[in-house]
Amino acid sequence: MYTKGRSRHFIYTDWILIETQFDPEQLHSKETVFTIGNGYLGTRGCFEEGYPHALPATFIHGVYDDVPVVYTELVNCPDWLPLIVIVNGDRFRLDQGEILRYDRQLDLRQGLLGRSLRWRSPSGNTIDIGFERFASLADPHVLALRCHLTPVDFDGLIEVQASINGYPENQGFNHWEGLDQGKTDQGIWLQRRTRSSRIELCVAAKVTISGTEASLQVSTAPGYPTLSTTFLGKAQQTVTVEKLVTVFTSREVETPVLAAQEKLAHLPDYATLLKANEQAWDEVWQQSDILIEGDSTATFAVRYNLFQLLIAAPRHDDRVSIPAKTLSGFGYRGHIFWDTEIFMLPMFLFTQPAIACNLLSYRWHTLPGAQRKAAHYGYKGAMFAWESAVTGDEVTPRWALESNFYGEDVRIWCRDREIHINADIPYAIWNYWQATGDDDWMQKVGAEVILDAAIFWGSRVEFNPERERYEIRGVIGADEYHELVHNNAFTNRMAQWHLEKAIAVYDWLTDKFPERATELEQKLKLTSQERSHWQDIVAKILFLYDPSTELIEQFEGFFQSEDIDLADYEPRDRSMQAILGVDRINKYQVIKQPDILMLLYLMRESADFPYSEKALQTNWDYYAPRTDITYGSSLGPAVHAILASDLSKSIEAYELFIRALMVDLEDNRGNTSDGIHGASAGGIWQAVIFGFGGIQLTENGPVANPHLPPGWTRLKFKLHWRGKWHDFDLHQGLGIGHGALGMGHGELGMGHGELGMGHGEKDTTEITNAQFPIPNSQSSNIQGFIFDLDGVLTDTAELHYLGWKKLADEEGIPFDREANEALRGVSRRASLMLILGDRPYAEAQIQEMMERKNRYYVELIQNMTPQDLLPGAIALLDELRQAGIKIGIGSASKNAQTVIERLGIADKIDAIADGYSVQEPKPAPDLFLYAAKQLGIEPEQSVVVEDAAAGVEAALAAGMWAVGLGPVERVGAAHVVLPSLEGITWADLREQLSHVSRQKR
């Protein structure tokens, strides 16, 4: 199904993001949105030919280098994309000439980014250009780019230059120094080294050309090796240029130059690489996909958020982690926050556990840096950096520098005070252990992190003898609007929870792995006195909480701060901190992101203190209205969506979910140009699975107690828990699902039913005419109507015709209205095959044409209004509703939901069965049986209204009443045949059906 993105020129299909128009004003944010990657590197969605002020970037995990003020940053690596096309002397570029047609697509199924356009040069030559590229998931060191060039109206010289740009910049700073470059029999190569961290890199590339006779020339301009060719282009003849690239750094191999050259020499062709990439992605999606039906925007956008996490996840390296802005932009300098462990990790934990293990092992490798930070501040153990890079040392900038000449630089206190990360990381490690049962990793790696970080808390707390309580003073909690607070509830409770688990891990090690326990005691200077100290802290840490109401005070004195009504500041387009100022906002009860509610969320799954249903309700009522959920932190909306769903606030939950879901696709915070909001993407997965899916983890495996948003008819996913996969297939209002541990997959208790089941055995009533069967029910017992859309309620058949006509014209295939008659009620693929006849087309071409036609159709239906309802339709729908008759839609279209919304009749429809609902299309009865089941009625209680022969046949096969609209030669098999719905009433139909019943019985 397609939906159209708000003002971004986007169309969303199930798997493909389509940009229909180039807007230079959105250049940088779209570069982020169209990022591709493979877990080793990420490449922003910049144009191969370049564009003024573009921000091209390729980031490789672990390639950091020193820089003033912000200490270290993820380095922008040499650009592998450059492919210049010169048409009869005019260089192809989108800021010159004329764009006659433009289309850019990101196919999530295989991480494939494509662009198709028709461009007229300043000299008047028109050419079709198609680009396609991917970063291979099958081999992380391989990148591939393909370009199709087809002159439309001229013969002339075309020059192509394929280069490696060795002068990338991190916003004005070049981290690379040149070492060497050259050419081989295969192509060109470039060797560079970072200035401070001394990481060597080699990029190698080769080019092949097909469709014309052409030779390649090599240019070795310093830092910019190039392969170029010139050929005579001929009108309507396509030339294909393929550029294959290999990349290695000294982080993986001793000699990157040899590795890149050898890999390049043995690469297969583009098509083979693409196939391997597709297979690798298929395996990933088999485990990580989430299927949503009934909400076309969410169907795509959820997958998009998962895709952006998957391409940033290190699959083969446990010394790196996912930066806050993934590998997609310059924001936060590629630094790693708590975002990874708390927001992003759960998706990997339950669908790609090996990646989750890598992400957590990174923290073990960076323990020395955390220990250096603790020592610097005068504490013991490991004090994790708020922002981390390679070593684990603190790399949070000390100052935020104003771009305004006269602005005041702002001190960043998170590096000193935001210490809850020291419990957040152990929280993630504990959850990994519980979900995987990976005792070997836990005793070798995870336990040391938990224990060393616990030692820090023992030295950080202060004992207040007057209160006889331990306190943690001078901190920043999850809410960063308040920069110096005491006894923040989130920090104190997370530290307490951490120490509880540290004691449990210590005891477990002593019992199960005594040698490792002894080793860590010596290494960490861990004693029985330390363990006793932890127990004392757990028993006596201060937590500001009213047991009668279960309201928690966010920090000491929060309730005495000046209250604020955020509604007084609406409408606004910036954060409350930007409005009130950094200093002033500290005095108000306004919160950047969930703090108390974040604590309740993290304790929700285990139902640990202070979580309870009463506590959630009480604290939601107090803190949610005071949270800057729109422009505070992007980490907030997804968490709020989950908790709102728990509280049965379904509309609010969905609105919050959409805010998080579309943060980058719609750039609703205005900063997508900095990179993907990785934590929000991870929060989306949690909102779908733990919120709407209602997943709870039990000793017997995950259990679902779903509360799907309005409109969602199906939610399907799988989870990995303790070595077994659990499948969940949840349907709106049809019970709960649970994972059957012994079977290794989820069994859905009433979550869905087999089509055709549950309807009862048909009586063996004698049928006088096999072509004219009578349902085994009296017409007076009709409980529901199922309407087709096309040609019944609206004339979308005309729009389908226009879509097919445009496609056929483009392909040079004769097609007219008479030929279109054969397509009524037929699936998209079957329709296309009828149009193509015996013309030979590859499967990839068939898929592309189906997508193209649907794109044309979706563009057309965006203009539909209630005025497009056919005569008599709305009157009959209203009469049926007044009579208590249920109304369903049974359409083979995958755009049915969108059409219904555009027609303004969504409030009159009780159930929708569309192209997503069943496998077998009409004339199989499955679609109508599914619709009846959704309506909660038996087939024989159903009336189908159809205008196609295949639809009538399907209704009869389902054992339902059939009303045919149109000529007898097309729908004559129906029980009742009418020219249209105009002037038709329920009383008329009931009388005609009764008459048929009396005649035939």
Catalytic machinery residues: 788, 790
Computed over its alpha carbons, how large is the radius of gyration of the chain?
Answer: 31
Among candidates 61, 63, 73, 680, which has minimal Cα distance to 397?
73
Among candidates 861, 802, 825, which has minimal Cα distance to 945?
825
Among candidates 201, 197, 311, which has minimal Cα distance to 245?
201
CA distance 610 to 103: 52
Q: Check the annotation: does 568 bind a ligand.
A: no
Strand ranges for 223-321 from DSSP E? 224-233, 239-249, 291-293
CA angle 794/798/803 to nearest 5° reads 125
CA distance 627 to 611: 19
Strand ranges for 15-57 from DSSP E? 16-19, 36-37, 41-43
What token pair was written down for 408?
């005041």
Q: Check the annotation: does 853 bind a ligand.
A: yes
Report phi then psi at 671, rounded to 5.
-130, 20
Strands of the sheet containing 291-293, edge to edge, are: 291-293, 714-721, 724-731
Q: Check the annotation: does 942 bind a ligand.
A: no
Q: Check the annotation: does 546 bind a ligand.
A: no
Q: Check the annotation: does 602 bind a ligand.
A: no
Neighbours of 24 (CB within 10 A): 13
The secondary structure of residue 529, as a DSSP letter, is: H
CA distance 558 to 463: 21
Among candidates 800, 799, 958, 985, which has minimal Cα distance to 885?
985
Contacts of 853 (CB under 8 A, 6+ apart): 803, 804, 806, 807, 828, 832
Please give the helix or strand (H or E) that residue 711 lies within, else none: none
Q: Check the annotation: does 894 bind a ligand.
A: yes
Q: Check the annotation: does 829 bind a ligand.
A: no
Q: Check the annotation: does 798 bind a ligand.
A: no
Q: Check the annotation: does 827 bind a ligand.
A: yes
Q: Check the annotation: does 826 bind a ligand.
A: yes
Q: Check the annotation: does 892 bind a ligand.
A: yes
CA distances to 290, 580, 630, 667, 883 from 569, rounded to whole Å, are: 38, 10, 12, 22, 48
CB 74 within 8 A of CB 64: yes
Torsion of CA 571, 575, 580, 582, to 10 degrees: 180
CA distance 456 to 383: 6
Q: Check the annotation: does 277 bind a ligand.
A: no
How far is Cα of residue 126 from the mean position of the Cα atoms in its chain? Answer: 37
CA distance 960 to 929: 9
Torsion of CA 291, 293, 298, 299, to 10 degrees: 50
Q: Check the annotation: does 843 bind a ligand.
A: no
Q: Check the annotation: does 789 bind a ligand.
A: yes
Helix (H/G/I), strand (E/B), else coil: 500: helix
What token pair was written down for 480?
């960063």
Helix (H/G/I), strand (E/B), else coil: 972: coil
Length of the chain: 1001
Among candidates 528, 515, 338, 321, which has minimal Cα distance to 426?
338
CA distance 474 to 486: 5
Burial of 303 (0-12, 13-18, 19+ CB in 10 A): buried
Q: Check the annotation: does 824 bind a ligand.
A: yes
Helix (H/G/I), strand (E/B), else coil: 451: helix
CA distances to 168, 364, 438, 440, 723 from 444, rounded to whole Å, are: 40, 10, 10, 6, 20
Q: Check the annotation: does 917 bind a ligand.
A: no
Known binding residues for substrate are 788-790, 804, 823-828, 831, 853, 891-895, 922
Annotated binding-site members: 788-790, 804, 823-828, 831, 853, 891-895, 922, 946-947
Q: Which residue positions form the known binding site for Mg(2+)? A: 788, 790, 946-947
